[in-house]
Amino acid sequence: MPRSPRTSSRDRILRWLVLAGVVLVGLLVVRAASLGQDLVTDGPSSRAPWTPPARSGPPLLPTPTPSAPDPVIGETPPEAPGLLVEVGLRVVDAALIICVVVLIVGVARMWRRTLPTGPSPRPWESLHGVPTPLQVRQALASALEADVILVGPGSPRNAIVQCWVTLERLGTEVGIPRAGAETTTEYVVRFLEVADADRDAVDELAALFQEARFSEHPVTTEALARARSALRAIRVSLQPPGRRTAMRTTVRRGQQGHA
């Protein structure tokens, strides 16, 4: 199963954090060892310096002072190792600071990636290239205005079935994926729910489609009129709020005129 980009990026950050932590521990051990050596070699002594006792007898013979050896031409005194040790300690300190910064940045990035970036996506939204609910609404509203359905010759049964088939085709054209085990009714109801269509109208139209598709008794013109009313309610619910009110007023006037 392929891993998501977020998971692989988190794993890379975690590996770098582990590496930086190991290096940091090693540098801390080296620094602690150097500090311990300084305490052993250069630490202050708690014992007072020894002084020889004073003599009361006659003075001793003068102690001859050794003469300094003649300097050897071409030789230089060996350089004290203190400077090299100091430079090494400064390098260790700089490496410690870099490791600490890397650890802080890595932890901050991992913590930021765990924060939610928005509302939890629905299962269909996790697929690549799937449109947003707003895009579904706009595309479906335009398609329903362009397609003339539930109008024309034919029996009420065929008109209702053809209406549902047209809705199924529109869902595919809009870009809503269909699950393998999903029936036609489940698919159309789901993508109309994604578009936030009128749920009562969707349920009404779905029930009429089931009746027209699978029943053996005749489908009346009254059922066709109910299907048209449900489809109009779906179209109205897909419009922007301002236009939705205007369309409802127009539909209401048309119904009063027919009455």
pLDDT at 115 over 70: no
**Is the separation of the CB atoms in 184 and 168 below 8 Å?**
yes
Q: Of the spans 11-15, 16-20, 124-128, 218-222, which averages the highest pLDDT?
A: 218-222
| Residues 176 and 214 placed together within one structural domain of the fold | yes
Query: What's residue 239's pLDDT?
Result: 84
The verdict on 107 and 20 lying in the same domain is yes
Identify which has the larger pLDDT, 242 or 159.
159
H/E run at residue 161: helix 156-174
Q: How many CA atoms lie within 13 A of 31 on its CB side?
A: 15
- Angle, helices 199-214 vs 221-237, to 10°: value is 150
Q: With a cut of 80, say whether residue 192 has pLDDT above it.
A: yes
Identify whether residues 99 and 149 lie together within a single domain.
no
Domain span including residue 228: 132-258
Residue 175 in domain = yes
Name the band, by pLDDT with cuts 50, 70 and 90, for residue 161.
Answer: very high
Mean pLDDT on 47-53: 58
> Is 232 found in the same domain as 147?
yes
Query: Of 165, 163, 181, which is closest to residue 225 (Cα–Cα)?
Result: 163
Q: Could you give the CA distance from residue 73 to residue 40 in angstroms, rounded to a whole number?
A: 37
**Tokens of residue 86, six digits:** 């100091």
Higher pLDDT, 65 or 240: 240
Does 235 map to a domain? yes
Same domain, 155 and 248: yes
Residues 140 and 254 placed together within one structural domain of the fold: yes
pLDDT at position 119 is 52
Q: Are residues 178 and 231 in the same domain?
A: yes
Same domain, 89 and 136: no
Residues 110 and 139 in one domain: no
Residue 122 domain-assigned?
Answer: no
Does residue 177 form part of some domain?
Answer: yes
Asked, for residue 55, whether it belongs to a domain, the answer is no
193 occurs within a structural domain: yes
pLDDT at 71: 56
| Neighbour-count burial of 232, counting CB atoms closer than 10 A to its CB (0-12 exposed, 13-18 middle, 19+ buried) | buried
The mean pLDDT of 122-126, rounded to a whole number, is 45
Answer yes or no: are the C-beta atoms of 162 and 149 closer than 8 Å: yes
Q: What is the overall mean pLDDT for the chain?
A: 72
> Is 56 part of any domain?
no
Which pLDDT belongs to residue 238?
Answer: 86
pLDDT for 46 beyond 60: no
User: Would residue 231 count as lying in a domain?
Assistant: yes
Residues 96 and 196 in one domain: no
Model-wide pTM > 0.85 = no
Report which of residues 185 and 137 the model is more confident about.
185
End-to-end CA separation in angstroms for the chain: 61
Shared-domain flag, residues 87 and 163: no
154 and 252 in a single domain? The answer is: yes
Q: How far apart are CA 126 and CA 163, in angstroms?
A: 29
Instruction: Tell me phi and psi for residue 2, to 5 degrees.
Output: -65, 145
**pLDDT at residue number 103:** 76
Domain count, the chain: 2
Query: What is the reported pLDDT for 92?
Result: 77
68-72 average pLDDT score = 56
